Each structure stands twice: as C-alpha cells, then as structure tokens.
Structure 1
Amino acid sequence: MKAIWNGEVLAESDETVVVENNHYFPPASLRRQFFKDSATTTVCSWKGTASYYDIEVNGKTNKDAAWLYPAPKSAAANIAGHVAFWKGVEVEA
C-alpha cells in the first residue's frame, strides 16, 4: 500500500493494518520529512486518544491529514503508533 499526496509518496508498506476501512501504516514505513507534529487530538470511545500530523509537501500543507494512536486502548493495541490518512491523501495498492 502507498499513501500519496501532492505527488509524493508519504508512506509505503505491505504490512498495513485495516481498521474501520482505514489502512494504518507501520511507523518505519513513513517518509518522516513530510510529517510535522500537530497540536490536534481527538478521542475515540474504543481506540483512545489520537494525535495528528500536518503533511508538508512541496511548500503546501495539509493540516491534520494523518493520525495515530500513540497509546491506544487495549482493543486497538494492534495499531499503536501506526499512521492513517485522510483529507485527500490517496491510499492505493
């Protein structure tokens, strides 16, 4: 699987974990130069607290376009630290 935005591959992995139709990419698959920490957090009743990244590619920013659960609840332990995407980031095989 690949996550692509603004012409750049943000993450690539054959070992994503699918939860609620989202592919969660393992931490080692990220191209970190495109990820900037965001102060945004949200709470899911069964996964826990999500943290977000802004994606920056070629001078453009996609705010809060990636998220992860750094310390998820036990029901979502399999996606701890894995990153998923939205807001126009294309995830394809």
Structure 2
Amino acid sequence: MKAIWNNTVLAESDQTLIIENNHYFPEDSLNKDYFKPSSTQTHCPWKGHASYYTLEVDGQTNADAAWYYPEPSKLAKAIKNHVAFWKGVDVVE
C-alpha cells in the first residue's frame, strides 16, 4: 500500500493494518521528511488518545492529515507505532 499526497509517496508498506476502513502504516514505512508534529489531539472511546502530523510537500501544507495513537488502549494495541491518513491523502495499492 502507498499513501500519496501532492504527487508524493508519504508511506509505503505491504504490512498495513486495517481498522475501521483505515490503513495504518508502520512508522518505519513513513518518509519522515514530510511529517511535522501537530499539537492537535482527539480521543476515540476504544482506541484512546490520538496525536496528529501535518504534512508538508513542495511548499503545500495539509494540517493534521495523519494520525497515530502514542499509547493505544489494550483493545487497539496492534496499531501502536502505526500512522493512518485522511484529508485528501490517497491510500492505494
């Protein structure tokens, strides 16, 4: 699977985890040059507290377009050290 935004591959892995129709990419599959920490946080009742990254590619910014769970709940422990995408990021085979 590949996560693509602004014609750039942000992540690529054949070992994504699918939770609620989102592909979670292993952290080591990310091209970290395009990820900037965000102060945004949200809460999922069963996965826990999510943190976000803002994407920056070729001068374009996509705020909070990637998220992850630094300390997921026991029910979601499989997605620890994984990142998912939205806000116009295409996830394709």
| TM-score over 0.5 for the pair | yes
Specify every segment of 5 or more residues in structure 2 that has no aligned partner in the other structure, as ranges: none
Alignment match, 1:70: 70
Which whole-Å CA distance do the structure 2 matches of 1:19 and 1:70 have between them? 16
TM-score (norm 2): 0.99
- Residues 1:54 and 2:50 are matched in the alignment: no
1:28-51 deviation line (CA, Å, top 9, x unaligned):
000000000000000000000000
Specify every segment of 5 or more residues in structure 1 that has no aligned partner in the other structure, as ranges: none
TM-score (norm 1): 0.99
Alignment match, 1:2: 2
Q: CA RMSD in A?
A: 0.3
Secondary structure of 2:63's aligned partner: strand
Alignment match, 2:34: 34
1:58-93 deviation line (CA, Å, top 9, x unaligned):
000000000000100000000012000000000000
- Aligned structure 1 segments of 4 or more residues deviating by more than 4 angstroms: none
The alignment covers a number of residue pairs equal to 93
Which whole-Å CA distance do the structure 1 matches of 2:11 and 2:72 have between them? 21
Alignment match, 1:43: 43
